[in-house]
Amino acid sequence: MKDILRNMPFTSSATTTLPRTVRAVALGRGISFLGDEVALLAMAFRAKAELGHFGVAAILIAGAVPLLVLVPFAGLLVDRIATRPLLVAVTLAQAGLCVALAWAPAGLLVPLIALLACGTAVSSPAWQALLPTLVDPTDLPRALGAMQSFAACAGLAGPFLGGFLVATYGFHVPLLIDAASFAALAAVPLVMRLNRVPEGTARSFSFHEAFAGVRLVVQHPVIRSLLAHLTLFVLALGVINVVEIYFITTALHAGPRGYGLLGVCFGGGMLVTSSLAGRLSRRFPRPERPFVVGCAALCVGIGAFGLTSQLWEAAVLLVFVGAANAIINVNAMVMITTHSTDEIRGRVFSAIQGTISAAQILALATGGLLLLAVQPRPIIVVGALASALALSATVGPVLRAGRTAERSPSEDEPIGAAELDVSWSAPAGGRRRDAHRGLWRNGDPGAPRHDRVPLARLGGIVPFPLERRRPRDR
């Protein structure tokens, strides 16, 4: 899936209204998420019916592979092309693909879903890189919470609506609704005149620069620790994405409407904690702490879900699981955003998205194979236990990296592309680099400065302060 790592005063800022642009983006993406939820349920049931046991895994893998393969190039595209034309073109193309999916034969489901995911590989980091240009850094957790809240509302209504539509009209109508939601989302940058103009717009495309996001992920201790944790977590829990539909329809004896009801419960849990994101960020100014708590809660909730035998028991537990999931999403996004500059943020998000997609692909394939020999219930329980082991192995580095970032801000401030000179980009003039991290030391006279990075916002230029962070008052 999301602390600004500075003192966050307990002031009345929590009661101010978010900018109209943020609310418009959140609403537009929420509508699109609603369409995605409806369409995903329809495609999952169609794949289960027409492609067999491995069908659900096949369409989920098809949706994940492009996110991995296009990692460096999608991120560079986001950091080289203005957001408005890029998002409008990609989103309208996705709308057309949804129309094609509505009447496509079963044999074309996988390639069309892969093409749809190619659009997501570009649009997802583009939206993520746009959001920090629309708000003050101190309002970033609230803005992310608003985005998550609208997504949670979609999670509330989507599965129930999707189950009703599949049971009543079949597979075509849900995909047409998804196409309409993409068209509505494409209108948001045009109507609101949103446009992030990256600093590198005038530069040519470079294969070396395409991997700047990957280099930041490797070099930055907070993002590196976070991504290692998320990757292992997804490997352990990803198998459940394949088997949950079989578990709900066989062990719990639910149909499309029951499956949709459980999705509503999951979305309700997400909505509760997403709406409290701003308050939680002021109460816990170090995001790695609530992030770890959310991961632990998710392990417990999914393990208990795998042991249920009644639909109502599963519904209660999925409210808890949804709440934990939202805490993970908001705090992970805050950590990633505050530790990267706008100059390469698109490539950073793309690199993280691709790494997690690789873990998802492996987990989905494993889940599809396990279903051929093992019942869904033990797969879910063992997946929860494996995720708990992954958490115990990675919780230390995540917490230590966050603590180091707070105590030593001069060595762990957000990194820009100019500071990502590693061994294959030798520095000129004999300037020193940190031998361990490959980064310029801030004390060097020749070190690049990234105190304030100008960002495009609604046709104007606003500074996004990246001042040195102070240790939290004790």
Listing DSSP states for 35-60 in one string gives HHHHHHHHHHHHHHHHS-HHHHHHHH
Kindly report the backbone phi and psi dihedral angles of residue 340, in degrees, each rounded to the nearest multiple of 5, phi listed first.
Answer: -145, 150
C-beta of residue 251 within 8 angstroms of C-beta of residue 309: yes
**For residue 123, how many other CB atoms are within 10 A of its CB?**
25
Q: How far apart are CA 299 and CA 306, in angstroms?
A: 11
The string of pLDDT tens digits covering residues 256-299 is: 778 878 888 888 888 888 888 777 777 877 888 889 999 999 99
**For residue 69, how many other CB atoms are within 10 A of its CB?**
17
Per-residue pLDDT at 432: 36
Question: Residue 449 has which token pair?
Answer: 């400065």
Per-residue pLDDT at 25: 93
Q: How far apart are CA 420 and CA 418, in angstroms?
A: 6
Cα-based torsion angle of the residue sequence 217, 221, 225, 226 in order, rounded to the nearest 10 degrees: -60
Per-residue pLDDT at 218: 79
Question: What is the three-class DSSP state of 89?
Answer: helix
In whole angstroms, how far apart are CA 286 and each of 150, 192, 289, 354, 412?
24, 33, 6, 26, 14
Per-residue pLDDT at 202: 55
Which amino acid is it at 423? Answer: S
Per-residue pLDDT at 118: 93
C-beta of residue 335 within 8 angstroms of C-beta of residue 140: no
Per-residue pLDDT at 439: 34
Query: Which residue has 């992970």 as its token pair?
Result: 332
**For residue 48, how many other CB atoms are within 10 A of its CB?**
16
For the entire predicted model, the pTM comes to: 0.64
Which amino acid is it at 153? Answer: C
Nearest to 472 by CA among 246, 273, 287, 272: 287
Question: Who's near 398: CB < 8 A, 6+ residues apart?
Answer: 225, 226, 229, 288, 291, 292
End-to-end CA, the chain: 31
Per-residue pLDDT at 190: 93
Question: Residue 463 has which token pair?
Answer: 């500074």
Per-residue pLDDT at 226: 86
Q: How far apart are CA 462 and CA 135, in angstroms?
A: 10
Question: Who's near 336: CB < 8 A, 6+ residues apart?
Answer: 2, 223, 226, 348, 349, 352
Kindly report the backbone phi and psi dihedral angles of residue 473, in degrees, each rounded to the nearest multiple of 5, phi listed first.
Answer: -60, 140
Per-residue pLDDT at 261: 83
Question: What is the three-class DSSP state of 452?
Answer: strand
Question: What is the chain's pLDDT, residue by residue, as a tens digit (474 residues)?
Answer: 333 222 333 233 344 678 899 999 999 999 999 999 899 888 888 888 888 767 877 888 888 888 888 877 888 888 888 899 999 999 999 999 999 999 898 888 899 999 999 999 899 889 988 988 898 877 888 888 888 788 878 877 887 788 888 888 888 899 999 999 999 999 999 999 998 887 756 566 566 666 666 777 777 788 888 888 888 888 888 888 888 888 998 889 888 778 878 888 888 888 888 888 777 777 877 888 889 999 999 999 999 999 999 999 999 999 999 899 888 988 888 888 887 777 777 778 878 878 888 888 888 888 888 888 889 999 999 999 999 998 888 888 888 766 766 655 444 455 454 444 433 333 333 333 333 333 333 333 333 333 322 222 222 222 223 233 333 433
Q: How far apart are CA 458 and CA 468, in angstroms?
A: 27
Q: How far apart are CA 351 and CA 359, in angstroms?
A: 13
Can you identify the CATH homologous superfamily of domain 20-411? MFS general substrate transporter like domains (1.20.1250.20)
Nearest to 57 by CA among 374, 365, 358: 365
Q: How far apart are CA 87 and CA 215, in angstroms?
A: 26
* DSSP 8-state assignment for residue 18: P
